[in-house]
Amino acid sequence: MAASLAPISRTSWTLDPAVTYLNHGSFGACPKPVLEVQSELRARLEREPVQFFEYALEKLLDAARASLASIVGCAADDLAFVTNATQGVNTVLRSLPFAADDEILVTDQGYNACRNAAELRTREAKARVVVANVPFPVSGADAIAGAILERVTPRTKLALLDHVTSPTGLVFPIARLVRELRERGIETLVDGAHAPGMLPLDLASLGAAYYTANCHKWLCAPKGAAFLWVRPDLQNRIRPLVISHGANSPRVDRSLFRLEFDWTGTDDPTAYLCVPAAASFLEKLIPGGLAALMARNHALALAARELLCRELSVREPSPEDTIGSLASVPLPDGPGGRPGKRDPQEVQLFERFHIEVPIFPWPAPPKRLVRISAQAYNGLEDYQKLASALHELRG
């Protein structure tokens, strides 16, 4: 086994050592040193809440945004912390006006929660959601872009697109899509839930109107840390979901965007404030820092996908350049099951083999995919264990 594909510092996480955890993509996993920083911040907050919230918090948020900005490639003042990417999507959709017959373009691989938000917003405005069906398996970026762009009409007001899809793990050619949509007069809201810590980002040059993503996934920050980036020329349009003191603040040293998003009421802000600690932890894991870790996780995801496809006798469903640190592999048809229930084989993998991995119905039952994640604590032997367990369940 290549040394780079061996697990790195498994003891730095609090994950159950009895479980083979192959589902970092769903909720992430926060390392022990970062959780210790969060505990210290919470203790500081509770020792003197007034001093913390009224005098310390603003500077702490500024520092956390600056750290995050250096990772995602933008000015710190163009970022606002939110609790998760779904909140970021809802924030934009609730802020924008839509007229009757306007269209929001989404894909069939979009995250269900965000699709629901788009459906509600269009119903309220008597607009509509248009769905582009992106094939999977897929031949590459051209096929992805073509499937999306062919659904554009003169009524398309906004495109809500994933950077990395949840069910299939496909990395969309997002820079190309943003550029070609803008050429047609259409702005893009990017759901980048998985991207920070998985892919290199340069939001300032991407050109999207809005980009929201989680820090609790591949950046390994505590749960509740995410961000919304808004292009500077559009910030006066976007308001937080909760309107609070910033709405009529007399301050002139900060933008309304900054004042409104930085305080929406009393909450626990420590997840946001741990982003620098999480980034520092990942930067020190291997020589070459976060960039090298992302490359290592990508290589591990590809090797794991190749192993599973070989063991299951299926073809790799997409080219290597459409994969980050997530990968999905087709499984034999399943029993279907009831909507919203876990696939019976997923349950057996956990209960009999202590493997945590999601099996999705895709595109609809009985068709299924198994989706693997690759993070520092994973090694190639984890996926061999999965392949062996799947063989046993089939037998």
Tokens representing 248 are 């009529």
304 Cβ partners below 8 Å, 6+ apart? 327, 372, 374, 380, 382, 383
Amino acid, res. 249:
S
Dihedral over alpha carbons 178, 179, 181, 182 (to 10 degrees):
110
Longest dimension (CA), the chain: 70
**Residue 349 and residue 386 in contact, taking contact as beta carbons nearer than 8 Å:** yes
Q: Residue 335 — pLDDT band, cuts 50, 70, 90?
A: confident
Residues 162/212, Cβ–Cβ less than 8 Å: no
3-state secondary structure of 81: strand
- CA dist 295 and 290 (Å) reads 9
Q: What are phi and psi of 266, to 5 degrees?
A: -65, 130
pLDDT in tens, 272-306: 999 999 999 999 999 999 999 999 999 999 999 99
Q: Does an H or E element contain 230, and which? A: strand 226-230
Confidence band for 2, pLDDT divided at 50, 70 and 90: very low
Mean pLDDT of the region 54-68 = 98
pLDDT band at 337 (very low <50, low <70, confident <90, very high): low
The answer to whether the CB of 34 falls within 8 A of the CB of 26 is no
pLDDT interval class at 341 (50, 70, 90): confident
Q: Is the pLDDT of residue 1 over 60?
A: no
Instruction: For residues 170 and 134, give the distance between their C-alpha atoms in angstroms, rounded to a whole number.
Output: 10
Question: Sorting pLDDT into bands at 50, 70 and 90, what band is 72?
Answer: very high
CA distance 322 to 140: 7
Peptide bond into 200 cis (omega under 30): no
DSSP lists the bridge partners of residue 369 as 330, 360
Q: Which helix (H) or strand (E) holds 330?
A: strand 326-331
- DSSP, collapsed to helix, strand or coil, labels residue 194 as coil
Residue 395: the pLDDT is 64
Q: Rounded to the nearest 5°, which phi and psi values hold at 91?
A: -60, -45
Q: What global pTM score does this model have?
A: 0.97
Provide the token pair at 129. 């959601």
β-pair partners for 384: none
| Residue 184 reports pLDDT greater than 70 | yes
Is 263's pLDDT higher than 90? yes
CB 168 within 8 A of CB 127: no
| Phi/psi of residue 193, nearest 5 degrees | -45, -40
- Beta-carbon neighbour count of residue 128 at 10 Å? 16
Note whether 192 and 254 are within 8 A (CB). Answer: no
Q: Is residue 338 pLDDT above 60, yes or no?
A: no
List Cα–Cα distances, 33 to 60, 61, 228, in angstroms: 19, 20, 26
The closest alpha carbon to 271, from 221, 196, 219, 227, belongs to: 221
The per-residue pLDDT of the chain, averaged, comes to 96
Quote the CA–CA distance of 197 and 285 in Å, as a whole number. 13
Q: Residue type for 366, please?
A: P
**Measured between alpha carbons, how far is 226 from 50 in angstroms, rounded to an integer?**
25
* Structural domains present in the chain: 3-22+289-394 (3.90.1150.10), 35-279 (3.40.640.10)
pLDDT at 340 over 70: no
Cβ contacts of 322 within 8 Å, gap of 6 or more: 138, 140, 141, 144, 170, 171
Q: What is the dihedral of CA 17, 23, 27, 29, to 10 degrees?
A: 30
